C-alpha cells in the first residue's frame, strides 16, 4: 500500500510570518507530485504539478521544491496572509499505473 504523509497535520502561524510543511511519498515509481489548496466551503484549487527531481515552482508568495530521490516535497509560504488559511493537499502519481494518491493534508491557520 502506497503512503503519502503530510506533516504537520495542523499549523498555526502569525500573520506576516513565513512557514513551510512537508509531503513525503514513495521514492520508487515516481511520476509526478501535485499540490492543491483547499479553502473551507470551496473547491480544491491546483497550485503546482512537479515532475523532475530538483524542481522548484513558484506562484506569488507560495513556492515548492521536489526531491524524488528521497521522496519529499516542501511547500513554502512567505509572509503569511489571512487568505492563506486553508488545507494544503499533496498527491503522488504512481508511474506504473497513473494512480493518484492523496495525503491527508496540512491545515494552515493564519492568526491575525
Partner 1 sequence: EADIYQTPRYLVIGTGKKITLECSQTMGHDKMYWYQQDPGMELHLIHYSYGVNSTEKGDLSSESTVSRIRTEHFPLTLESARPSHTSQYLCASSGQGVRTDTQYFGPGTRLTVL
Binding site residues, partner 1, CB under 8 A:
4, 31-32, 34, 36, 41-46, 49, 51, 89, 91, 93, 95, 98-105
Q: How far is the CB of 42 from partner 1 (least distance, A)?
A: 7
Q: How far is the CB of 49 from partner 1 (least distance, A)?
A: 6
Q: How far is the CB of 87 from partner 1 (least distance, A)?
A: 11
Of the two residues 42 and 112, which places its CB atom closer to partner 1 in the complex? 42
Q: 101-106, long-range: CB within 8 Å, 24+ apart, which pairs?
A: 101/2, 101/3, 101/4, 101/25, 102/4, 103/4, 103/5, 103/6, 103/23, 104/6, 104/9, 105/6, 105/9, 105/38, 106/6, 106/7, 106/8, 106/9, 106/10, 106/11, 106/21, 106/75
Amino acid at each position: 500500500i502506497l503512503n503519502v504523509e503530510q506533516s504537520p497535520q495542523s499549523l498555526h502561524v502569525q500573520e506576516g510570518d513565513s512557514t513551510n510543511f512537508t509531503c513525503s511519498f514513495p521514492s520508487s515509481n515516481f511520476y509526478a507530485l501535485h499540490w492543491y489548496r483547499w479553502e473551507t466551503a470551496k473547491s480544491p484549487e491546483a497550485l503546482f504539478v512537479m515532475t523532475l527531481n530538483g524542481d522548484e515552482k513558484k506562484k506569488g508568495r507560495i513556492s515548492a521544491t521536489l526531491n524524488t530521490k528521497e521522496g519529499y516535497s516542501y511547500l513554502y509560504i512567505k509572509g503569511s496572509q489571512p487568505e492563506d488559511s486553508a488545507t494544503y493537499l499533496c498527491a503522488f502519481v504512481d508511474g506504473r499505473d497513473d494512480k493518484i494518491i492523496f495525503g491527508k493534508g496540512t491545515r494552515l491557520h493564519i492568526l491575525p
